[in-house]
Structure 1
Amino acid sequence: MSQAAEAETVVRETFTASAIAFAYEGEPRMTAGALQRWTLRFTAQVDLPAGARIGVAHRWPSDWGIAQASDAGGVDYLEAETSDGTSVRWWNARLHTWHPFDHIVFVELPEGLAAGDAVALRYGEGRRGSPGYRVQTFIEEASPFSLRWQTGEGAPWVEFARHVVEIVGAAPDRLVISAPSRVATGQPFEQHVRVEDCWGNPARLDEPFELEVTSNGFEAVTPQRVTMPPCAWTRLQSVLQRPGIHRVEARTLDRLALRTSSNPVEACANPPAESLFWGDLHAQSVIGCGARSIDAYYAHARDFSASDFASHQANCFLVSRAEWQETQASTQRHHAPRRFVTFLGVEWSGASSVGGDHNLYFPGDKAELRRCSHEFIADKSDAATDLKHIEDVYRHYRGSDTLIAVHVGGRTADLAWHEPGLDRLLEVHSTHATSEWFLFDALSRGYRMGVIAGSDGVDGRPGNSHPGRLSVRNVRGGLTAILAPELTRAALWQALQDRRCYATTGERILLDFRAGAARMGAIVDADPTRGLSEFEVRVEGTAPLERIDFFRGTQCLHSVDCFAEAGAMSNRVRVAWQGLSAPGNWQRARMNWDGELRVEGAKIGAAQGWAFDTPDE
């Protein structure tokens, strides 16, 4: 297909835009990850010329099934048929020039189509045995399909309709309970309990059910009971009376038989001077290349993921002027000090050759939008304001109260460029991969940066993004922990500036690291003849800890083998393949493992998955 044929021209008020009538035959609501059937019917309102084409496109992050015609009894079978029996052919393609509607089924009418006749696309057509077509794995209030046509190869593409379906969660699969990492004894605090489906969505609850929540540190011995509402999440207040590390247990009281344990909670005899707050600083919604509205995005972070803070980071070359206004308004609207903190931001998304992806965070509710380019922006009237190179970004923001985080992303940041006053943070984990090589690169250059993790998610689920069918991501998203005296934008901002933060792959691990009076993130001038006498480290995991490594720069100085110190081993054996195919984003990092385990003189009594982030693994 020629470049001219790939170019998008969106026209809705012309003769060509009304040349085709569209009808949808199927359910308006579908279950995430399920098999479904539906038909898209296109009726010609005028004679369509020979060689006319129709394109059905869905957005880049959507992991709908991949249409196939080779196996009529298999999943994702697609049948195309005209009402007058004329020939029709179709094929799949992925086009960057249609971004963010990259995934396309093209339909060609070699003989054209007479006015009044129709062409039908039957997804999951079951007459010859197909069980159905795979629905995307993440919830979305309005999952969009862009419907376009052209009169023939080389002609402009015209969008004549948008169709949307609602995607809801699947059956309950697991409980997740989140509690504050640090509380004062005798003081009420809030716990958050949610029910996820196997894809990490809010589960579909056909009816409310009861939960029992217990802890040996609660004021009363009697367990708390709470009814889970249809939204699949709830909050409840509790009090811990005894100092120490506690974990809250929760279980369902019905046939689901779900059970879980919370993150570690440190109960302090006196109100702690600092608390630990958790959130996701890096993801995007339908503003950008992601999914769901920005309001749904922030609500998900606050209400379902139980995040304390969040930021929205759309690719700058996809954000229109109106969308930036909407981003500012939504970020301000959802900001609630001491409840949920939002940070205004955008991802400067230049190619790696000019600096690579950098997340920009602004301290207030308003900021000027300065893009790397106008590649996908229709209104180019302000193109002269673009900051085309990372050096331009540094010059523009130098001396301002702006935070920048470097990350691997789609266009990996090139750490050869560095501005210490702005580049305060480095993202070591996201749904792309765990990128310790990226952190080691920064350390080898002598950079001093706070380490964070996020999702870099495009599924509209900040704080608990999952990779689904692995179409554009590899692993579950991470979380950033920030040590601050209070949950306000100013306090969190200062903590990030001071590198008082750490990263996890999504677990709310309790970590305290200090050297004398110096806390995490501080710069200590040590006596060169004596060095630092000792470090004080305390770690409480969400599961048994395997190993703790101590690094100076890229050199591992010491490792603590927690399993070896725990005593006798169990009769379970872990078989794991791990690593990256290459440093970089999800495409470069992906490994397709294929191995086997043979046992002689014994037998395997049982097996279960380990470190699986999605059912498709």
Structure 2
Amino acid sequence: MEDIPRNRREWGALEAALVDRDPLQAEIEMSPTSAQVREALHVSFTIRFGRDLAPGTAILTMIPRTWKLDLNGAFPEISKFFAVWDGGYSNGRQCLVRVDTSAENEQARCELIPAGFEFLVFAELTKGLQTGEPVRIHLSHPDGPRVRAPQTVQFHPFVTAVRIGGEEEFQRLSTTPGVKTIGGAVGSLRVTTQAVMGPDEASNVKVVPIDRYGLNRASDYAGEIELLEVGSPNPGVSVGIGCDEDNTRVEVSLTTPEPFRYIQARDLARDLVGRSNPIGTPDTFGGYRVYFGDLHAHCRPCDGFGSMQEAYDHAYEISELDFASISHQQNSSNFPFSQKHWKEYLEINERFNEKDAFATLPICENYSSYGHRHSLFGSLNDACQFPVGPRHWGDPYDPSNHPDRLWATLADLDALTFPHHMKFIHGTDFSIAPNEMEPVMEVCSRWGISEYGGEHSAQYALSQGRRMGLIGGTDNHLGQPGSGTHGYNEGRGWTAVLAKSLHREAIYDAIRRRRCYATTGAKILIFFSLGENLMGEEAHGWTGDRDFRIVAAGTAPIEKVEVVRNGDVVFEQRPDAYIVDTSFCDQATLSDLIRPAAFETLDQFCYYYLRITQQDRNQAWSSPIWVS
């Protein structure tokens, strides 16, 4: 007989196995069926099974960690706790979990099982039930405090598994109980458009009313918005937005001759004003366009929330990203990922890959005691050939699970890797010899910034002579690519690439060539070059002074512009302006700056990169330029 899972790993294994089993027919009555994000409410659902239930039937329901106790801010240290109802009122600090049946109004035996960040509600029926008789599961009983809905707009499932008394295996229900959340009250207007466009192109502006929590479309907004180019004498364009309409896109012709332009949206009736990202021209960026994306986000079924459909919709419609990758932790023991899961993932990934509109890149995460890495694939065909899952890779933290093994597996594929959250959680081991398949590293995410500070930092890797560019990723586990993760750490990270077109191949090539930079989640435009050499490139055979060009356009006033050389700040400017166009000439003798590399396979080096800090604390880092 299949055991009751007692931890996160066992529950993950069971949840994966349920997918391939025939479902148990059941009707679900959910109360409520929908809620506003962060709404306080009592949640319960009734199951009516399509067959008799024998005594000893076991029911398991998972309460996700995104549901929290609502105490209006009191006792935050216990805000995730639930308690089994025992016939009396609780201490008021825990939601009451209870399972009732129709068998003589008897309450089923109930237990709460901590499973990592989640709780499992385990109920066992002491008496049998006939077909159609109800089982009611209270996740927050009215006799106790209410539970607070998550802050993300999604369908939030309470995955339920049932093992009929006397039978061997658990089955999933034919219908999954859950609550659909909608956005909160409007708090701001998010205005986005192409980051770089030609002089004859019209700006395709998107306006999204965002709720006061900052990461969802507001559910209560309907109004008239005026769009106008900042600094232009021309009148604006008016557009109406309704509550239930798709995000509004409007073409706006830009008329000012400035190298960077902005568009403002305002609803004077509600005192709402939004400013777009800066808009540049290809001439400023060496003939390239700039595209923004998130290469590090998660959803269900691998240690995340929301579906891939919801995640990609959020990336495109709310975060307004140009490209994104939803990643699965392919060798995690918490969820036994398989080739079947990988195939299904790749099929969904392809459906959202639309040339010139939105690009998706196949990716998966690899756990290792030498640091966590992502494998990014240049094509669907290459991704399909990659073996995934604990069955192939074994214990992710076994010493044999070395990066060299990963690189050898990828050797015949068009693929690259990058380490992430390098200073946090199994810090990246940079004593391992570099590999040309690893051209970039993730310098910022929700875990924090890994730019400097110790042997797991980006500057440490660069000090060894590694030629690695800088990218960012959120590591969002809530199915919201491009967004911070609410109460689980507000940090963010995005990757910006300089590419000719919004195609998967062009995005991948820019990352492989290190023609990219990182931001903390703002569409900051930066350009950093030395002569004909762009960020991410090597300037060989250089003699004499080094005259760098620095261009930046912020989403807020830029507080500080810095050039870092071999780990030290050698140029600083405090412009207090949205736009910066300046230069830095390094007249120091180059031979005095050249350093030996830590590995025989690497050349000697001197590196430079650009760091931008805005007044709102958002930052951006260019990939380095190496001079020799």
Q: TM-score, normalised by structure 1?
A: 0.75
- Kept in 1, the 8 Å contact 2:434–2:466? The answer is no
CA 1:370–1:416: 2 relative to 1, 3 Å: farther
- For 2:602, the equivalent position in structure 1 comes to none
In structure 1, the residue matched to 2:458 is: 439
The runs of 5 or more residues in structure 1 that have no matched partner are: 96-101, 567-608, 613-617
Identify which of 402, 413, 424 aligns with 1:389: 402
Q: Pick closer, same or farther for the CA change 1:25–1:399 going to 2, 3 Å.
A: closer
Matches within 5 A, 1:14-93: 24-41=29-46, 45-46=52-53, 48-49=55-56, 54-59=59-64, 62-65=66-69, 66-69=80-83, 74=92, 77-80=95-98, 82=100, 84=105, 88=109, 90-93=111-114
For 1:573, the equivalent position in structure 2 comes to none
Counterpart AA for 2:492: G
SS in 1 for 2:121: strand
Q: Deviating runs (4+, > 6 A) in structure 1?
A: 10-13, 116-119, 268-272, 609-612
Structure 1 position 423 matched with structure 2 position 435: no
Q: Distance in 1 between matches of 2:338 and 2:477?
A: 18
Is 1:484 matched with 2:499?
yes
Q: Could you list the per-position Cα deviations for residues 130-168 of structure 1 after superposition, in whole angstroms to 9, with x for gaps in the alignment?
A: 3x211122122353423456979xx98734534233222
User: Which residue type is aligned with residue 277 of structure 1?
Assistant: Y
Secondary structure in 2 matching 1:391: helix
Counterparts of 1:115 and 1:405, CA distance in 2: 54
Asked if the contact 1:184–1:271 (Cα under 8 Å) also holds between the matched residues in 2, the reply is no
The alpha carbon displacement at 1:173 in A equals 1.8
Q: Deviations over 1:290-320 (max 9, x none)?
A: 2333233323322332211122321113533
Q: Secondary structure at the match of 1:370?
A: coil
Deviation track 1:559-611 (CA, whole Å, cap 9, x = no partner) reads: 334569x9xxxxxxxxxxxxxxxxxxxxxxxxxxxxxxxxxxxxxxxxxx987
With structure 2 as the length reference, what TM-score do the two structures score? 0.74
Task: Letter of the 1:80 partner, please give it.
Answer: R
Call closer, same or farther: CA 1:325–1:12 in 2, change over 3 Å: closer
Query: Equivalent residue of 1:493, what SS?
Result: helix
Aligned residues: 534
CA distance in 1 between counterparts of 2:408 and 2:440 reads: 18
Residue 402 of structure 2 is aligned to residue 402 of structure 1: no
C-alpha contact (below 8 Å) 2:266/2:273 kept by paired residues: yes
Cα distance per residue 1:202-230 (max 9 Å; x no partner): 32434632211112455x71111112242
Q: Select 2:390's aligned residue among 357, 371, 374.
A: 374
CA shift at 1:420, angstroms? 3.2
TM superposition shift of 1:482: 0.8
CA positional deviation for 1:107: 4.1
Measured after TM superposition, the shift of residue 509 of structure 1 is 1.0
User: Are residue 290 (structure 1) and residue 300 (structure 2) matched?
Assistant: no
Partners of 2:296 and 2:474 within 8 A in 1 = yes
Contact 1:372 1:389 in 2 (8 A): no
SS at match of 2:344: helix
After superposition, residues 452-467 of structure 1 pair within 5 angstroms as: 452-463=471-482, 465-467=483-485
Does the 8 Å contact 1:67/1:92 carry over to 2? no
1:345 correspondence with 2:357: no
Q: Distance in 2 between matches of 1:246 and 1:610?
A: 20
Q: CA deviation at 1:326?
A: 2.6
Identity of aligned residues (%): 21
Q: Is the 8 A contact 1:149 1:157 kept in 2?
A: yes
1:145 matched to 2:168: no
Aligned partners of 1:92, 1:282: CA distance in 2, in Å? 30
Aligned twin of 2:593: none
Q: Secondary structure of the equivalent of 1:301?
A: helix
Identify the range of structure 1 (412-421 vs 327-336) with the bigger mean alpha-carbon deviation: 412-421
- Indicate the residue corresponding to 2:538 in structure 1: 523
**Partner residue, 1:593:** none
Q: Contact (CA 8 Å) 2:30, 2:178: kept in 1 or not?
A: no
The 8 Å contact of residues 186 and 219 in structure 2, kept in 1 or not, is answered as: yes
Q: Deviation per CA, 1:383-440, whole angstroms, max 9, x where unpaired?
A: 9xxx943211111223643221211276544333354320011111122222224312
Aligned residues: CA RMSD: 4.0
TM-superposed deviation, 1:550: 2.4
| 1:122 maps to amino acid | H
Gaps of 5+ in 2: 70-79, 580-614, 619-628
1:5 deviation in Å? Answer: 5.1
Moved more, 264-273 or 392-401: 264-273
Confirm or deny: 8 A CA contact 2:99 2:123 kept in the other structure. Answer: no
Q: Amino acid of the residue matched to residue 351 of structure 1?
A: S
